């Protein structure tokens, strides 16, 4: 443990190719189940290393595409590790502005900037995040990239963030309030994100789509459209990367990708629908006749771009990124395999549990579906999940046959 006169116990950790001073988390943990990062005077969560790894790769991939020097912003910086990694690990970054409303966080972040010899490239500010972003809303002051990683929902910062991004800029968002997004508190999701959530087996994809839909609606109010480049759901959070595209026409095109997902809680049937008049609670399931429930409005467009995924994988091959976590590499590979797959996924063990049969290997089910000329692939959203364009009756039938064939 070090004594650097911050007024609380700290330690040095190594992440990526940088070293940073962070709160010594075990000093703030009161019990086995206690969440130490929330108790520490400056926020730092080591479990978000994977998120930061992917963020570094995403920013490098974006820079490789636009081929210009980047001005980067992190409005909710905590100890500053994310912004410092951007400055140190990503080629083509001109400046990084890290901000936090906490004076203690700024003090620690400034020390970490000095520790990594980044004075003149990384600038630390002590303001409210929305005020900080609003100061950069003028055309010549906007950022190329903004990374919003809050403790909870990013919604309070969306308006100021989209206004502070230049044309074609990249926005990264984290949401950790998974309970409302995953259907446990649908009214809270409606209030925060503008769409109703459902507690389905594919709720984590619904969460990504609700967040994307909220961003699309927010951006449209400013005559800005969006394009989703990458997204993932990992542990306790979801993550979204998107481009902003200026113009009323772009905003209108974006809103055309909004809609609803109708779900049957009796037979696993689901379908996407754009017409609000047909997305009511009195619509009957065509498979079993039960009443369908609706999630949304939410994003029905793609949630990963093949070209961007290819660029992520290309950068992963570079020696400069050999330190990237194995889990981050696996997520990128799985998400790439999900590009252009149908909306939602089936969780095999949930279907097997309802039928009372053992859960067969996913590879066998995917093989059978592919043999029947249906698209089928694994999904990063769930270890037992399968994305396929096969009708629910076919999916259930294949799972049943494969399961009984192994009994």
Q: What is the helix (H) or strand (E) element at residue 338, kind and residue range?
A: none
Q: What is the CATH number of the domain that holds 253?
A: 3.40.50.150
Model pTM greater than 0.75?
Answer: yes
Domain termination residue (choose one: 260, 288, 307): 307
Using left for φ > 0, alpha for ψ between -120 and 50, and beta otherwise, residue 49 falls in alpha
Are 181 and 237 in a shared domain? yes
Are 353 and 275 in a shared domain? no
Q: What is the CATH number of the domain that holds 362?
A: 3.30.56.70
Q: Is residue 319 part of a domain?
A: no
pLDDT in tens, the chain (407 residues): 444 678 899 999 999 999 999 999 988 887 766 777 888 999 999 999 999 999 999 999 999 999 999 999 999 999 999 999 999 999 999 999 999 999 999 999 999 999 999 999 999 999 999 999 999 999 999 999 999 999 999 999 999 999 999 999 999 999 999 999 999 999 999 999 999 999 999 999 999 999 999 999 999 999 999 999 999 999 999 999 999 999 999 999 999 999 999 999 999 999 999 876 555 557 899 999 999 999 999 999 999 999 999 999 999 999 999 999 999 999 999 999 999 999 999 999 999 999 999 999 999 999 999 999 999 999 999 999 999 999 999 999 999 999 887 65
Domain termination residue (choose one: 285, 307, 329): 307
How far is 22 from 29, CA to CA, in rounded Å?
15
Q: Is residue 52 part of a domain?
A: yes
Q: Is residue 32 part of a domain?
A: no
Residues found in the chain: 407
**pLDDT at position 286:** 93
Are 69 and 184 in a shared domain? yes
**pLDDT at position 404:** 82
Are 254 and 126 in a shared domain? yes
Structure tokens at 344: 């939602």
Q: What is the helix (H) or strand (E) element at residue 336, kind and residue range?
A: helix 326-337
Tens digit of pLDDT for each residue in 114-147? 999 999 999 999 999 999 999 999 999 999 999 9
**pLDDT at position 406:** 65
**pLDDT at position 3:** 46
How far is 407 from 400, CA to CA, in rounded Å?
11
**DSSP-derived secondary structure letter, 152:** S
Q: What is the helix (H) or strand (E) element at residue 6, kind and residue range?
A: none
Q: Is residue 278 part of a domain?
A: yes
Tens digit of pLDDT for each residue in 324-382? 999 999 999 999 999 999 999 999 999 999 999 999 999 999 999 999 999 999 999 99
Are 233 and 98 in a shared domain? yes
Are 293 and 363 in a shared domain? no
Are 243 and 388 in a shared domain? no
Q: Is residue 386 part of a domain?
A: yes
**pLDDT at position 166:** 98
**pLDDT at position 149:** 97
Are 81 and 163 in a shared domain? yes
Question: In sequence order, which residues have a C-beta less than 8 Å from that of residue 191 and are 6 or more positions away?
Answer: none
**pLDDT at position 386:** 97
Query: Could you tell me how many helices (H) and strands (E) the chain has, helices first?
Result: 15, 15
Q: Is residue 397 part of a domain?
A: yes
Query: What is the b/e burial string over 38-51, where b = at least 16 CB atoms within 10 angstroms of the residue's CB?
Result: eebebbbbeebbbb
Q: Is residue 2 part of a domain?
A: no
**DSSP-derived secondary structure letter, 322:** T
Domain count, the chain: 2
Are 379 and 255 in a shared domain? no
Domain that holds residue 70: 46-307
Q: What is the helix (H) or strand (E) element at residue 153, kind and residue range?
A: none
- For residues 90 and 60, the answer to whether their CB atoms sit within 8 Å is yes
Q: Is residue 315 part of a domain?
A: no
**DSSP-derived secondary structure letter, 176:** -
Are 183 and 259 in a shared domain? yes
Are 237 and 378 in a shared domain? no
Are 70 and 118 in a shared domain? yes
């Amino acid at each position: 443990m070090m004594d650097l006169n911050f007024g609380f116990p700290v330690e040095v950790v190594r992440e990526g190719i940088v070293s940073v001073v962070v709160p010594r988390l075990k000093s703030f943990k009161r019990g086995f189940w206690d969440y130490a990062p929330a108790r520490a005077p400056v926020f730092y969560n080591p479990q978000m290393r994977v998120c930061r790894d992917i963020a570094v790769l995403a920013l490098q991939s974006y820079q490789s595409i636009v081929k210009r020097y980047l001005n980067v912003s992190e409005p909710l910086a905590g100890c500053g590790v994310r912004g410092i990694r951007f400055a140190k690990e990503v080629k083509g970054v001109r400046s990084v502005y890290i901000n936090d409303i906490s004076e203690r966080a700024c003090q620690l972040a400034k020390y970490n900037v000095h520790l990594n010899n980044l004075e003149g490239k990384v600038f630390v500010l002590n303001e409210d995040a929305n005020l900080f972003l609003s100061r950069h809303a003028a055309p010549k002051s906007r950022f190329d990239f903004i990374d919003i990683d809050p403790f909870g929902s990013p919604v309070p910062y969306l308006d100021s963030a989209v206004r502070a991004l230049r044309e074609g800029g990249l926005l990264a968002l984290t949401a950790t309030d998974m309970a409302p997004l995953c259907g446990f508190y649908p009214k809270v999701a409606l209030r925060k994100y503008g769409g109703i959530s459902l507690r389905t087996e594919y709720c984590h994809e619904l969460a990504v789509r609700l967040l994307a839909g909220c961003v699309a609606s927010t951006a449209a109010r400013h005559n800005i459209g969006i394009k989703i480049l990458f997204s993932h759901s990992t542990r306790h959070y979801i993550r979204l990367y998107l481009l902003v595209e200026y113009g009323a026409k772009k905003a209108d095109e974006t809103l055309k990708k909004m809609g609803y997902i109708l779900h049957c809680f009796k037979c696993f049937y689901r379908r996407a629908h754009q017409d609000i008049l047909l997305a009511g609670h009195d619509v009957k399931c065509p498979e079993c006749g039960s009443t369908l429930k609706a999630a949304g409005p939410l994003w029905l467009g793609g949630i990963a771009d093949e070209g961007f995924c290819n660029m992520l994988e290309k950068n992963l091959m570079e020696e400069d990124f050999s330190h990237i976590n194995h889990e981050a590499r696996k997520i990128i590979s799985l998400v790439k395999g999900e590009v252009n797959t149908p909306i939602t996924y089936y969780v095999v063990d949930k279907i097997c549990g309802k039928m009372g049969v053992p859960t067969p290997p996913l590879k066998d089910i995917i093989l059978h579906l592919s043999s029947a000329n249906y698209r089928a692939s694994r999904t990063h959203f769930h270890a037992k999940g399968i994305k396929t364009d096969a009708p629910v009756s076919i999916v259930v039938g294949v799972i049943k046959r494969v399961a009984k064939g192994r009994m």
